[in-house]
Every structure is written in structure tokens, then in C-alpha cells.
A and B are shown apart, each in its own frame.
Chain A
């Protein structure tokens, strides 16, 4: 075979290989494997995790003391049971027997105490605000731990269902930097591989207390593909479950035979406003912005009709939602313009820079920009670069922007959420550390009211009303969980507060 034929032969061989590889059957069916496209956590250590959305990924590797159900009520998890003392200032948890961390060390009362103490004391801990109310923690017996509170706080069982209660192995916590890159918990899965900003692979953790309800052998968490190829990735089997797909993709996903789950969430999108920065240091401007934004447009453009307007940090289906607040401000551009003129800004004189988060924005910033243009406010959009922690450091920590399009994914306890969005140390409180005294009192009053007390809901609504009024930020719309999955993924377990994997099956 003379030499000149070489390039021809090479070309043929390559194409043959491709075709052969093409029809190779993928071995998904053999092992119950699911590929989940979401975002990477800001840190694998619950103590240093910096954003609410991390609960979804943290709860792969960690189990919390308690767990919320679809209705949002608290259920036992690591703790079999819990009870308050008479005056509500002591909360005792009874742990399950011989629980173990993935690094082999025992998960007992001492471990819980060590974790909560670390949450209170570690320099870069983000749980300080939630744990402030706890004076000290005592490990009475290997399975009983008691929290001694400054004042009664009946929200704790909800709070401890989230990251605050995601107990991490104290043994691994000796090197916090390493823990931030490699979790050591007692959750449903154990991590086997992690490439930052790319993917994390998990195997089922047989020692998980609820292992019986986990039917997935291997879970591969990856960053979500580019919107233009998201559906293609799902169809071609590169990913099995895609969380928060763009709303306008729902029609396409359904028509291409994918299962699309639209479930109630605790999500609420807002326009965070920073009253520490001009022009929002002028109350007239803040008030003008109450009337400047038409929430219906956001629902149709950004959520493709799937969402619902809201003026408060809770979606309408949530028990903390107070219908009264919705009536307070309606869309009134003329009034907004009048208020602006009173504040000294003729049309076209006021110009702003809107900070937008490319990952969750879905175009909300451009709608805000267009609507502000209608009342003579010139707004430019600065897209803060993607990546799991650039938005946090610029908006949540440095609080640099005047106005930012953002949203809360919700917290386990309504009070925890109110504090996160309006509290002095709340990461989403762009005007931080400002928070009105009236609001803080209302919050404490709710905290001291047992959740089964008939006055609880009324006091909660009152706290929300005060919070919304005292904060310059405006909540616009609530979007449900929109999750697309391949038909072979059955019984997706989507709670309002987070996505879990108990009960999910792969065919």
C-alpha cells in the first residue's frame, strides 16, 4: 500500500471510530447515576458558605439537625426529637444513636456543640447572626445537646434545618481551608471528586440516617451549560436534571419530551436599593421608586407568566405572605415622576448604574432599565462577572452598587429570611447596617412566640409589614422552581426551601 494513501486511510479510520463510538450504549442504566446541573457552593464548609442557595448543594454532603417538609413544617432528621423548656430559653435535642461523619469520626452531642461553637466564634463564619441568640451549648450526654438562649426563640428548629444545623465533622474542621474544599458531613452522599468551578461527584453514603430513602448510587453535580445548549445537553444525556432553566425554555423542554417540574419555591426577586448612596439617601427618591416599576411586565417578560407579583420577600403561597402589603403601592409612573421632580430631578437628570447578576438575572435588569427610562431616569447596566463568589464579595460584602437586581432564594425560617434581607447584618440588605428599631423589636417578638401560638401568624405578618416599609428595596415578583429533567428521573423531591434527593428514582 503505497505511502501516498496514508492521509486517506487516516481520515477513514477517524470517521469510522466516531461512528462506532456513536452507537456505544451509555452505561447509565447499570448504575443509578444522576447528573445534576446547578451551581457550585461558595464553600463546602457550612460555616463559611456565603449565600442562601448553597443549602441545595451543602445538603448533599451534610445532614442538618432537623428537616422541613413540603408544607414547610419541621421534621426530625439528625435529631430524633427536641423540646423547649417552660420559659422557652432552653432547647434540648435528642440525637439518633451511632451517627458517623464521612471521615469516620462520630457525630455525637460533643460534635454538635463543637460545630455550633465554631459557627459563633470562627473569624470568617457567616452564621454569627443566626447563632447570636444562643449564649452557650452544653453536650449533656453523648446523644443529648442543649442550647441555652439569651431569650426564647421558637424559630431555632426551622433555622437548624438549614446550613446553621448542617453539622460538619470537628475533626475535619481543624483545617477550615481544606474543609471549604472537601466536605466532611453525615449527609446522603460522600464526595469523591471536586474540580472548583466545574463539577463535584458524589457516591451514596450508606451511613446516612435516611439512607433507605436514597435510591441514587452516584450523583454528579456540574455547573449548568450555556442557555443556548441547555436543552440539547439534557436531550443528549450529558445532564439528567437542570435546575432553574430560563422560563421561556419551558415550552421547548415540554415539547421535546422532557419532564418539567414547576413547584412552589421561597424565591422572590427584588430591586435592592442602597440608601447609604445618593440619590437614594433622599427619601423622596426612595418613595418615587415604590411606584416606578410595573410588576406585571416582569412576570410576563422574565418568568414567561409562571411567576406572580409580590411586594414582600415571600412568595404568595407562603404562610408568612401578608396580602395587606400588596395593596400599599400600585404602579403609578406619573406619581413617581412627580416625586422625582419634588426631589429635584427633572426627567433625564437622574442617572444610575444597575448591578446585574448574569446567573440569576434572566434579563430583569434590562426590564428595570426600560421602565426607569419611561419616568426619565437614565440607567446603565453593569454586569458583575459570573462565578460563585464575585457577586457576594461585591454586592453582599462591599455593598458597592447604588441599585442591584437580586433575589432571595428563601430561608428555612421566615424570621431568618427577614433578617437576611432587612437585618443589620443581612447579606441582602444593600443599605446595611441600617435596620429600623421598630422592625428589630417586631422580629424579636415573633421569635419569642411559639409557632403553634394563635398570635404567631399575626405577629409575623406585622414584622413583615414593618420590614417592607422601612427598607428602600422593592420586591417585584416570585418565581417558582422551574426544573427540567429527563423522563428517566422519577419523583423529584422539590421543597419550597430547597431541592432534596430522598425518594428520587432513576429508571
Chain B
């Protein structure tokens, strides 16, 4: 499934025949980087606040509370009211929100309504599983995606190019669970090469860990490979038609150097920003693979807790994934800044 944004915000063309840029004294390099990072960090704070507000309101709107579960068979209205008061659910929404946010900052995500375990502990138990699968999927996705993308751009119009484009559009059409199950049939049932369920922590048995996350990582990476290949191909094709490529050819630079030093860096821009959009889907998509492979991941816990109406756990997992997504997009923006310093300076 691809929700890649079709068009990024192209910086608006400069206003009516404004005075062209007169030569400005050169600012020290580090100052620009810091200013750029500062502005990025500044933006992610309100984004974090909005995202967590949405998460909180979702929990609040559900109107669920732990009373039924805890009250047991003595579930009389008074008992339920007392339990709601214990959890502070009778306070006005604003105070509940502030209290919840204060908790977030302190790392206290509240307690699961079903088994009383602190939410943060539950999440930390399962975070390594989700991160290892998502991480492996990202690595496989990036490596295979760029290989296919570059190949398709270099041999544009060839059979390889057509094959890559066909694969990309087909992969985008496959729901993730179909991909996962097909991979299981191939690698687990037919070839009997890799296990089809469960999880072995890296610390316990690295080889076993790699074998067990192999299929889920492949299943999750299919979307990334498809999108990255397509994005990189279009980026490279348009970059190859730029004037500075002609300039480089005229200077006698070798084609390989032109491609990897000059063109790839500019073509990688849209591909990288697409990757940033992929991260939330990677963590979200993990729900499917985690439930198919019965891996104790964060995604599956969030989904099951949501179904059980265990609001604090759901909110906790959403907040943690929001933090991960923001960290990733910050990282990718920094990488973009390094690859294309010009964009920073121009803004």
C-alpha cells in the first residue's frame, strides 16, 4: 500500500522578477547547519504536541474505563464510580490531559488497565522486537531499493527497467499480509529454510535472531523496495537530463563518477523524503507481520490493547512510535542537509 505523497511542497518560485540574489558574504558553514537543525527541532515540538493530543483525545473519546475488569463480579455502580475516581477519570479533561503529558515527560505512561504492569515496562519489553524487524526491513529495503532504482535509471527503457517498474506497481498493490503469507509458503513450508513464527532475542542467539526476523523483515521491506526503486528511478532520470551533467561530461569526468558523485546525491533527495514518510507505515505495518509471525512486538500489543480497550497501553505505544518517527525524520532531514547543503542555505 503506498501513501507516498505525490508532490512535495516545491519552494514557490521567487516573487515577481525580484532583484536576483546579489553576492552575499559567505556565512560560516557550521552556523547554517545549526540554524537549520534548530529550526527542524523547533518544528518537531508542536508536531509532537499535536500528535500526542490526538492520541489522548482518542483515548478520552472512547469513554472506556478499567472498572468492569477490576470490579469483578461485585461490579455495582458505586464500586465502578470509586474505581473511576482512583484512576482520576472523573477529573475534567484538561487536567487529565496535563497530568498525562506531565507523566509522559517523566516517562510514567501510567499503568495497564488489565494487568497493572507499568506501560513503559510493557513497551520496553517489546520495543527490541519491533525495532529489529523494522530496522532489518529498512536496511533490506534501502539496499535492494537503491540497487533496483539505480539499475532501472541507468538501463532506462531496457527489459530490466520494465521489470522493476512492473514489480514496483505490483508490490504496491499487494496487501502486507498476502506478502507475508506467500513468503512463509516459500521459505518456511516449501524450502523449510526459515522459521515461520516466534522470536529469539539477539542477545540470546544472533544466528537464530537473524533467521527468525528474516521473513517478517522481507515482508515489510517489499513496500519500501517498490517505492524507493520507483522514486530513485524518476529522480535519477530527471537529474541525468540536468545541465550540470552535461557540464560534467564536457569536463571529461567518467560516467561512473558522474552518476555516484554528482547525480545520485541530488536524485536521492525525493527518495530520502519518501523514506521519512515510510517510517510511520513501517511501525504501523508491523502489526500485520507481528500477528502473523506471533512476534511479541509493540505493534501487536497496541492492536490487542486497543481491542481490549486498554487505553493507557494504546496511548503509550502511540507516543513511543511518534517519538521514533520524529527522530527518524530529523535524522533523514540532517542527511538531506548533508547531501544537498544548498537547499538549507537557500531557505
Contacts and interface: CB of A to CB of B under 8 A. Distances in A.
A–B contact with Cβ pairs below 8 Å: the answer is yes
Interface of A: 2-4, 7-8, 10-11, 14, 17-18, 20-22, 24, 26-27, 35, 37, 50, 123-124, 126, 177, 180-181, 195-199, 222-226, 228-229, 231-233, 235-239, 385-387, 389-390, 393-394, 396-398, 425, 427
B280 interface: no
B254 to A, nearest CB: 10
Contacts of A180: 115-116
Contacts of A224: 294
A394 B296 contact: no
A195 B309 CA distance: 19
A390 B126 contact: no
B208 A26 contact: yes
B73 A397 contact: yes
Chain B: interface size category: 35 or more
Given A7-B143, A225-B196, A233-B294, 5 more contacts: A126-B72, A181-B117, A238-B212, A387-B114, A396-B73
Interface of B: 68-75, 112, 114-117, 122, 125-126, 139-140, 143-144, 146-147, 150, 181, 184-185, 188-189, 192-198, 205, 207-208, 210-212, 214, 256, 259-260, 291-294, 296, 301, 304, 307-309
Contacts of A425: 73
Given A229-B196, A397-B71, A18 B210 contact: yes
Contacts of A238: 195-198, 212, 294
A3 B116 CA distance: 53
A195 B75 CA distance: 28
Given A21-B214, A222-B198, A385-B308, A229 B193 contact: no
A110 to B, nearest CB: 27
A495 B147 CA distance: 57
Given A4-B256, A224-B294, A390-B307, A229 B147 contact: no
B196 A387 contact: no
B194 A22 contact: yes
Contacts of B188: 232, 235-236
A4 B154 CA distance: 13
Contacts of A18: 194, 210-211, 214
Pick the 10 closest A-B CB pairs, nearest first.
Answer: A385-B307, A198-B296, A233-B197, A238-B197, A238-B198, A232-B196, A387-B308, A225-B294, A4-B260, A24-B207
A35 B212 CA distance: 15
Contacts of A126: 72
B73 A229 contact: no
7 contacts: A3-B260, A235-B196, A238-B195, A238-B197, A387-B307, A389-B114, A393-B68
Contacts of A396: 73
Nearest to A17: B210
A21 B69 contact: no
Contact of A7 (B126, B150, B195): B150
Contact of A223 (B181, B208, B294): B294
A229 to B, nearest CB: 5
